Structure 1
Amino acid sequence: MIPMRMARVLIAGLVMLLVGTGWAAALQYGDYGTYYTAGKVWYYLYLNQNSTFTELYEKALDAGVDNETLALALELQANSTELFNEAISVGTPDEGRIPMPWKVRKAYLMIKEAVGILAEALE
């Protein structure tokens, strides 16, 4: 009978081997479909929310929303823009390149929060 500790080591080794083989196969055959799709989806979602932010910000200025709310929304938008620019530094879907999905997603979530703050202030 195999001791429990040795069994765990064997299972961990097998898992590492299988994961490594799968990753190597993906690299060999250029299987970046999911990665590319995720980057592309978050990229376009960000652009959509950014244009919504611009519209809502102008409405908020006209409606006389307090400066503290406007400043918070602008700070979130500025941070999201910085992240977005980092993400697309490697390229955009329009160029046939893959932006960094994790950064684009984070930028999208920030701009979405900013849009939510402005929408709530306008209600």
Structure 2
Amino acid sequence: ENAKRKEELLAEAEKINPQGDLEAARAQLHRIQERWEEIGKVPRERIRELEGRLRAVEEKVRTAADAQWRRTDPEAEARAAQFRERVEQFEAQAAKARAAGDKRRAEQAEAQAAQWREWLAAAEQAVATR
């Protein structure tokens, strides 16, 4: 009987979609976990299967929470902002050198700006995809 009740809970848990409203998904999972504990023990041969399915749902929600945190990580945002600032600085140096007729300094500044632009793109990608 307990295994059957836990299977019903799993059917509900497996419908949780943390991609939409993560907080609602967490709350729903928490309620399911509490009910899971209240149900009690299941036959030994079913434990691994049932617990594994619940852990898969927990991992799905945890992964979504981790991804949301990384997207909003203030350190990652600050790093991208610093890279953006450096790109702008080197581009300004290149423009100033070019205006002064110093082709060599302009090319050096453009090369540095290009390198910082690559790092900026990587930093922005890390923020966007996490």
TM-score with structure 1 setting the length: 0.39
Query: Which structure would you say has the larger Rg?
Result: 2
Tell me which of the two structures has the higher relative contact order, counting C-alpha pairs closer than 8 angstroms and 6 or more residues apart.
Answer: 1
TM-score with structure 2 setting the length: 0.38
